[in-house]
Amino acid sequence: MNAYLDISPEVKAALEAGKPVVALESTIISHGMPYPKNVETALLVEQTIRDNGATPATIAVIGGRLKAGLSREEIEYLGKTGRGVAKASRRDLPALVARGADGATTVATTMIIAHMAGINIFATGGIGGVHRGAEVTMDISADLEELAQTPVMVVCAGAKSILDLGLTLEYLETKGVPVIGYGTEELPAFYTRESGFGVDYRVDSPEELASMFRAQRDLGYRGGMLVTNPIPAEYAMDKKIIDAAIEKALDEAKAQGIHGKETTPFLLAKVVELTGGDSLESNIKLVLNNAKVAARTANALCC
């Protein structure tokens, strides 16, 4: 057991009993949505995982402690504090731990802490990736490197559509990360079900996902697996509308000099504003859908 890791009693009991557990990130609470919608969504995602037979483990850094499983009060604290909580990627964990500080975990740090705790499956909204213009800025999310080296299955709605999806797939291929389409042969693009890019393999059931992940572990691979689960059709947004909003948001980010870890929260918030809140509702629905698939896959992996 890592000396800096605290596993909640509920999560610890499930792990010791060999029952399915699904990890959840906390950046979506602090940086992804406004209060109180962020707290309502976090609790609803946890309930969705329970309703599908697994135990949720929302992950964060609180007072310098790595937390696998948060209390309702801790979720409320992150939601109210919002961007006052540090957005914590891999490079930030040592400083937060040493200083006894708080941090909301990205995909990368959620994978790290989940793996420490013995949790194999993680549900999120969308992963980070290669940002548009990265050939100049070198702005590439640490999420991709973590997928290459940490053996956790990540269930998402594809890479965020604010990114360069083609380059993101190329990067994942170079790192040997399998990109699996759940019920699709095309990479979903977060708010929309299509991107114009293909996935490596199509899988149509949680049992098949579990079998593939089990084989990857048995082969001794050290990296993770990316499962891309399209947003339900009834909640998907029109690609032309979302693309126009993203282009405008990118222009504003450039004009304001937004860069680094602030880029994604700024762009997503701006897209919510430009779409009249429609993208926020789509975001919530896709996260719930990913939680359901992750919980069912965690159940299949435990069988």
The Cα 132–Cα 163 span in angstroms is 6
| Statement: residue 22 has pLDDT above 80 | yes
pLDDT at 264 over 90: no
Residue 213 CA to chain centroid, in angstroms? Answer: 18
Domain ranges of the chain: 5-302
Catalytic residue, chosen from 12, 25, 76, 292, is 25
pLDDT band at 30 (very low <50, low <70, confident <90, very high): very high
Which residues contact residue 159 at a Cβ distance below 8 angstroms, ignoring those fewer than 6 apart? Answer: 126, 127, 128, 129, 165, 168, 187, 189, 190
Alpha-carbon distance values, 38 to 53, 128, 229, 276, 283 (Å)? 23, 19, 22, 17, 11
Report the CATH architecture of 5-302.
3-Layer(aba) Sandwich (3.40)
Residue 294 to residues 25, 220, 288, Cα–Cα distance (Å):
13, 22, 10
Whether 25 is catalytic: yes
Rounded-to-integer distance, Cα 51 and Cα 104, Å: 25
Instruction: Give the tens place of pLDDT for each residue, 195-238.
Output: 889 999 999 999 999 999 999 999 999 999 999 999 999 988 87
Does 67 qualify as catalytic in the annotation? Answer: no
Number of Cβ within a 10 Å radius of residue 5: 13
* Burial class for 134, CB neighbours closer than 10 Å (0-12, 13-18, 19+): middle
**19 three-class SS:** coil
Residue 244 or residue 212, greater confidence: 212
Tell me which of 104-113, 163-172, 247-256 is least confident. 247-256
Helix (H, G, I), strand (E, B) or coil at 295: helix
Asked if pLDDT for residue 260 goes beyond 70, the answer is: no
Residue pointed to by tokens 């483990």:
57
- Out of 12, 67, 160, 261, the active site residue is 160
pTM of the predicted model as reported, rounded to 2 decimal places: 0.91
